[in-house]
Structure 1
Amino acid sequence: MGTPDSTSTPFWGPDFAALCEADPEIAEVLLGELARQRGGLQLIAGENFTSSAVLAALGSTLANKYAEGYPGRRYYGGCAEVDRAEELAVRRARALFGAEHANVQPHSGTAANLAAYAAVLAPGDTILAMSLPHGGHLTHGSRVNFSGRWFHAVAYGVRESDERIDYDQVRDLARAHRPRLIVCGATAYPRLVDFAAFRRIADEVGAYLMVDAAHFIGLVAGDAVPSPIPFADIVTCTTHKVLRGPRGGLILCREELADRIDRAVFPFSQGGPHMHSVAAKAVALGEAAGAAYRVYARRVVANAQALAQGLQAEGMRAVSGGTDTHLALLDLRGIGVSGSDAERRCERAGITLNKNAIPFDPVKPMIASGIRVGTAAVTTQGMTETDMKEIALLIGRAAREDDESVLREVRAAVGDLVATHPAYPRR
């Protein structure tokens, strides 16, 4: 393939030309994915567009460096520069979230959760966490995951009447099972979590409280939702999603747990950190400290609420009645479409979202009765509540139709919309 010009590659620079020469097949994959992200609506709740600065750090020479250990205490020489990167990331995380301690080394949210469990639990200990079918996460005690195989997991859920967390059930289960760790946070729960209520329950039974804030930590950074930091012993999160950083994990905790958390990350569960990713985390954390990011975070929530309202007008019931965050969960049974069918049809129309189980779902997860949508990426593109109304109409039309001509019409409308609000604008 030929070397693309700057109109095709907005930020990769001359290094991309070298990739085109050395490995044109992979270069073609990169260009194809860039075209996919630019050409459609990206509504996966856990995805976003990083800045060019974050991508530059990810593609830097820091990828070459082994740096087992922590700044000033490495097992390898030559770590002066990566020490600076990690120290910046830690300082920025602590300042942004008001945390006493931060560990920026986890490779992912799952790795962060593994380390958090290792810091305060022994195999066989009891954890109390949200049920996966009700919106929780694999690492919150699913039997197919280490969290459900190594620990005794007890699950709480939502009330069938309003699909909100049943705090009375949480308290009753905590009293009955006396967990060593209570986990709150979810991947498909659109409402705010009452951290104070969880703190009271944890204190009553002598449990640690961990908040998995992977999905909403970016909203916390932007002061768009309440912070779990004053209530939790440990907060785990990812640096992608709303936070707009690289794919990776982050742990925030009280000072008295700092040493245990650090040892649980290294050497217990990880070796050398990915220093290019650590540097990219520092970039994203610095960006999130700015006033423009706070405006962005609030727009994410407003857009999610507008999108949920628009989808309800299309006959899709918003689980729990709406959303307080960046994501919404929609029940499609009212329009007679499964989540898996809606996902496939929307993808053919240039709309990327995911099928998702709803609470008390009568069908299997791979079919699902619902879809999950998120507004982090489209808000990064500059879209507004007015655009969300149009997106809702497009989703409604695509989800109902299995006619290729109709889906082509929707795709054309999607193309017009994203052309007005381009991802990674050409320069």
Structure 2
Amino acid sequence: MSATTASARSESKAAEERARASARDGTARPAGAPDFDALLSQDPEIAGVLLGESARQADGLQLIAAENYTSPAVLAALGSPLGNKYAEGYPGARHHGGCEIVDLAERIAVERAKALFGAEHANVQPHSGSSAVLAAYAALLRPGDTVLAMSLPHGGHLTHGSPANFSGRWFDFAGYGLDEDSGLLDYDAVRALARDRRPRAIVCGSISYPRHIDYAAFRDIADEVGAYLIADVAHPMGLIAGGAAPSPVPYADVVCATTHKVLRGPRGGMVLCGAKLAERIDRAVFPFTQGGAQMNAVAAKAVAFAEAATPAFGAYAHQVVANARTLARALAEQGLAVGTGGTDTHLITADTAPLEVDARTARGRLAAAGIVLDTCALPCTEAAERRAARRYGIRLGTAAVTTQGMGEAEMRVIAELIGAALREDTAVRAETVALVHRFPPYPDRG
């Protein structure tokens, strides 16, 4: 047995013991696990895993930009009997019997999504953001077509042309980048590339661009070269729902998104489009790229859409942005080089080089301090990219900590904790735990 395997089994056994102890003394129950006692009795090993992950989330700062805490109502829908139902097809036209109830759930989700985002059509079946993008490509493109998208080293997603992904294998991607000095999109350069390559489609969206995208400018470029415009807005979709970011719906032919991240729903995807493309999108999702919908996830999406339509969610989305801007300024005061000089969204990118720490080392030091975030590529010259001499920084977001109730005062504290951790202050871990315990992600849970 390897040392890694032995360590994993030891941790699993410890988690199981914690689960049993928690059951005996009536303490922690993972949020969204109403039948936890049954799980504990039947499979204490997995019950321990649930408790361990709940404890991990509750004892650290979760600053990964793609993560959030769903509501107990969303978690309840995910753990519901709807997960038992096979439902290939669409409401009223399923390939299985007994779909009357789940049809209602999907119709509700679709209508709520259309109303929330002002779209003519919504498909809520995609299992992920990547599934949503795959469906958009399947509906609009043929293998070998040329597509423009943000290059991966500058913040494009794997589905924007990575050779390890279906997108890079099936289509001819041309990548546009960011200005090395400002880190901002150069729309004139995108237009020049579009004129040169004459793409079938242009994708706008990024996993690490902290500024609003000018969708009208992309629409104008797409129209000039006769291309479809696909907006991949997995990250800002929640901000769009809450009125804290501009919407691509009036400009893009197809909008792809996730339902988690800032939107605070279950892990999954969705596609929005106009009525003219509705049938093509639906056929691209099922039967071309997916089988049966996960009806428990569809119901959970409906719950999240209803929550996102409330004034409280609008206030939340604006607070997410205010927190991110405050955190960006405070990180700069700690000596980090903040990408684009700040942010318009929940996202922040920063270069740790001024502190003489590389991004990978920085992530490790922060993890040891209970601060969880990601690394990301930073804009660099084409020559450097060809030499694979890419620069990397850290990427963080404020969606989860804002859900916990933290405000701008806490963002300044978080920046201080990050700065101290990067300078290897050993007292940071205790301070991190103390801060997070003041703002538990599920305060009504044990």
Q: Tell me which interval the TM-score lies in, with the shorter structure as reference length.
A: over 0.9
Q: Which runs of 5+ in 2 are unaligned?
A: 1-16
- Equivalent position SS for 2:350: strand
1:224 match:
244
1:6/1:426 contact within 8 Å kept: no
The alignment status of 1:296 with 2:316, answered yes or no, reads yes
In structure 2, distance between residues paired with 1:365 and 1:197 = 31
In structure 1, distance between residues paired with 2:41 and 2:389 = 41
Deviation per CA, 1:45-92: give whole Å up to 9, x if none.
000000000000001111111000000000000001110110010000
Letter paired with 1:250: M
In structure 1, distance between residues paired with 2:419 and 2:280 = 49
**Structure 1 residue corresponding to 2:196, chosen from 151, 176, 200:** 176
Letter paired with 1:86: E
1:340/1:368 contact within 8 Å kept: no
In structure 2, distance between residues paired with 1:254 and 1:315 = 46
1:319 match:
339
1:260 match:
280
Structure 1 residue 14: Cα displacement? 4.8
In structure 2, distance between residues paired with 1:235 and 1:412 = 43
In structure 2, distance between residues paired with 1:331 and 1:410 = 21
Alpha-carbon spacing, 1:321–1:14, altered in 2? closer, same or farther (3 Å): closer
1:285 match:
305
Alpha-carbon spacing, 1:365–1:295, altered in 2? closer, same or farther (3 Å): farther
- Equivalent position SS for 2:378: coil
Alpha-carbon spacing, 1:420–1:70, altered in 2? closer, same or farther (3 Å): same
Deviation per CA, 1:344-391: give whole Å up to 9, x if none.
111111000112111118699999531001000000000001100000
2:378/2:390 contact within 8 Å kept: no
2:150 match:
130
2:435 match:
417
Structure 1 residue 5: Cα displacement? 6.2
1:9/1:426 contact within 8 Å kept: no
Residues 139-178 of structure 1 aligned to structure 2 (within 5 Å): 139-178=159-198
2:49 match:
29
1:381 match:
404
1:67/1:275 contact within 8 Å kept: yes
The alignment status of 1:370 with 2:388, answered yes or no, reads no
1:50 match:
70
The alignment status of 1:239 with 2:262, answered yes or no, reads no
1:72 match:
92
In structure 1, distance between residues paired with 2:41 and 2:28 = 16
TM-score of the pair, normalised by structure 1 = 0.96
1:393 match:
416
Alpha-carbon spacing, 1:13–1:234, altered in 2? closer, same or farther (3 Å): closer
**Number of aligned pairs?**
422
Alpha-carbon spacing, 1:6–1:243, altered in 2? closer, same or farther (3 Å): farther
Alpha-carbon spacing, 1:174–1:4, altered in 2? closer, same or farther (3 Å): farther
Letter paired with 2:191: R
1:67/1:272 contact within 8 Å kept: yes
Structure 1 residue 160: Cα displacement? 1.7
1:203 match:
223
In structure 1, distance between residues paired with 2:290 and 2:59 = 37
The alignment status of 1:61 with 2:84, answered yes or no, reads no
Alpha-carbon spacing, 1:197–1:390, altered in 2? closer, same or farther (3 Å): same
Structure 1 residue 161: Cα displacement? 2.7
2:30/2:50 contact within 8 Å kept: no
In structure 1, distance between residues paired with 2:101 and 2:265 = 20
In structure 1, distance between residues paired with 2:420 and 2:389 = 22
Question: What is the RMSD computed on CA atoms of the aligned residues?
Answer: 1.6
In structure 2, distance between residues paired with 1:100 and 1:223 = 19
TM-score of the pair, normalised by structure 2 = 0.92
Alpha-carbon spacing, 1:298–1:39, altered in 2? closer, same or farther (3 Å): same
Structure 1 residue 229: Cα displacement? 0.6
In structure 1, distance between residues paired with 2:145 and 2:89 = 28
Q: Which runs of 5+ in 1 are unaligned?
A: none
1:352 match:
372
Letter paired with 2:63: L
Letter paired with 2:443: P
2:121 match:
101
In structure 1, distance between residues paired with 2:208 and 2:441 = 25
Letter paired with 1:186: S
2:233/2:257 contact within 8 Å kept: yes
In structure 2, distance between residues paired with 1:380 and 1:159 = 33
